[in-house]
Amino acid sequence: MVKFKEPLEQVRNNVKELQIEIQNNPFFETSSLLKKKNSKGGYYLHATDDIPEVRLKMFELISTIKCSFEAVVGRKNTERYIERHKGKEEYFYADMLSHLLKNKLSKSEKIVMHISERGKSTKNLNLELAYKKALQRFKKKGGEENEENKIVFNVNVPTSEPLLNVADYFCWSIQRLFEKGEVRYYNLLKDKISLVVDIYDSANYENYRNYYGPKNELKKENKIPEI
């Protein structure tokens, strides 16, 4: 979840300008990936696919944006996935999203979330399920439901909503750290990362040691061992 602290249209325009710059740069014109994306509806920035030179440009752009990022990391575990989420991706998604939302429900303000489209996971019913789960967790911790609070979900695709490109790069930097122990991308963005929760790290639940932020930074030792 990225929270932007400057006009959204300005951020959108900056990302679009970078996309156009990449498309028009002769250095990248032979990229098979760029050609493939153009043929499928338009080029967009996607950290997993982008070549290193493009990634660096995007990381440099994000460093200029006034924003903050939060993430909930769910470790892959087949038994838990089947038992808790009924083996369905949409239930897993709703559960993770509810953890991101639960601490936002105390404010009496309208929250507008731009969500990246993901099949059944981002259908209206499933997003409503995530909100209900978040509300349950919020009340369990003593919070009181505020009738003025409202969450609006706008489901989009990366080609039409450049803000999603920014969120994707933050997520990728966190994924690389947990899966590869690679910290250099996280280090580029860590000043903007306010919270990362390793939600299933039960060994560190005491004193919230599975919560990471400016005072408890992630390190390469946070790489999750392969089983």
pLDDT of 145: 66
Average pLDDT over residues 138-158: 81
Is 60 exceeded by the pLDDT of residue 138?
yes
Residue with tokens 């505020």: 146
Residue 110: strand pairing partners: 150
pLDDT digits (tens, 9 = 90+) for 151-201: 899 999 998 999 999 999 999 999 999 999 999 999 999 999 999 999 999
- Going from the C-alpha of 16 to that of each of 26, 29, 32, 108, the distances in angstroms are 18, 17, 20, 33
Residue from 170, 32, 204 nearest 212 by CA: 204
Residues 64 and 91: their CA atoms lie apart, in Å, by: 35
Residue 213: strand pairing partners: 216
223: left (phi over 0), alpha (psi -120 to 50) or beta: beta
High-pLDDT (> 70) share of the chain, %: 91
25: left (phi over 0), alpha (psi -120 to 50) or beta: beta
| Extents of the domains making up the chain | 76-156
pLDDT digits (tens, 9 = 90+) for 8-59: 999 999 999 999 898 888 887 766 566 556 556 678 899 998 989 999 999 9
pLDDT of 42: 74
Average pLDDT over residues 94-116: 88
pLDDT of 103: 86
Q: In terms of pTM, does the model score above 0.85?
A: yes
pLDDT of 149: 66
